[in-house]
Structure 1
Amino acid sequence: MKIEEINHPELKDHINMIYMHGENQNQKAIERTEMEIKEYISDKEFIISIEDNEPVKIPYGNDGKYIVPIFTDALEYKNGMQYFSLNVMDENKECIIEKLDYFKKLKEDPNFLGYIVNIARVSYIINITLL
């Protein structure tokens, strides 16, 4: 699969719904949408930045915790790389197309907080309970 073929508007819709349910303080709807996200990502492929065959890890605080960015389409990947460039994090980055379960060992790392979707535009983190 090529980067141009990756397109996940449904995931973006789910994320928007999470925010809307949060504004309405509707916890049941949030949980239902999170389960829909879990089901959706279980068999989909995403664009993942890698360096030396490892997913790019972005520090989250000063305690060793980190998140891993994923991208839902080619435009979001381009914007994400611009974001990395602004933060001097874009050296030697490549992209691969993989399912999120490809990096199963990340789930076992207590410092892994989850995947951040479209880092340049969205601050939604898919936490490890949904993987």
Structure 2
Amino acid sequence: MKIEEINHPELKNNINLAYMQGENGNQEAVMKIEDDMKEYLKDNVFIISIEDAEPVKIPYGNDGDYIVPIFTDKREYDMGMQYFSLNEMAENKDYIIEKTDYFKKLKEDPNFLGFLVNISSVSYIINTSLL
């Protein structure tokens, strides 16, 4: 699969719906949306930044916690790499196209907080309960 073929409008829509329902305090709807997202994540591939065949880990706070960026399309990836570049984090970064469960061992790491969708806008962290 080529990077240009990756496109996930359904996931983006679910992220927006989860935000809206969360703002409205509708936890039941958020849980339903997260269940849909969980199924979607199992069945689809994403653009994942890697460095030396390992996922790029971005520090989150000062306690050793980190998140791993994923991208839902080429535009997000290009913008994300520009963000990396602006923050001097872009050396030797590459990408693979994989399912999020490709890095199963990450889920065993207590410092792994989840996957960040679209780092340039910090749009959504997919927490480990959905993986």
Q: Shorter-chain-normalised TM-score: which range?
A: over 0.9
Per-residue CA deviations over 1:63-88 (Å, capped at 9, x if unaligned) read 10000000000000000001111110
Q: Distance in 1 between matches of 2:65 and 2:101?
A: 19
Partner of 1:18: 18
Partner of 2:7: 7
Task: Give the secondary structure class of the aligned counterpart of 1:64.
Answer: coil
Q: Distance in 2 between matches of 1:31 and 1:48?
A: 26
Q: Distance in 1 between matches of 2:71 and 2:127?
A: 15
1:1-131 counterparts in 2 under 5 A? 1-131=1-131
The two structures, once aligned, show a CA RMSD in angstroms of: 0.6
Q: Aligned partner of 2:26: which letter?
A: N
Task: Give the secondary structure class of the aligned counterpart of 2:64.
Answer: coil
Task: Give the secondary structure class of the aligned counterpart of 1:77.
Answer: helix
Shift of 1:122: 3.4
Task: Give the secondary structure class of the aligned counterpart of 1:25.
Answer: coil
Task: Give the secondary structure class of the aligned counterpart of 2:116.
Answer: strand
Task: Give the secondary structure class of the aligned counterpart of 2:7.
Answer: coil
Q: Aligned partner of 1:46: which letter?
A: F
Q: Distance in 2 between matches of 1:54 and 1:104?
A: 12
Shift of 1:33: 0.3
> Which consecutive unaligned segments of at least 5 residues does structure 2 have?
none
Q: Aligned partner of 2:122: which letter?
A: V
Shift of 1:23: 1.4
Task: Give the secondary structure class of the aligned counterpart of 2:43.
Answer: coil
Q: Aligned partner of 2:107: which letter?
A: K
Q: Aligned partner of 1:48: which letter?
A: I
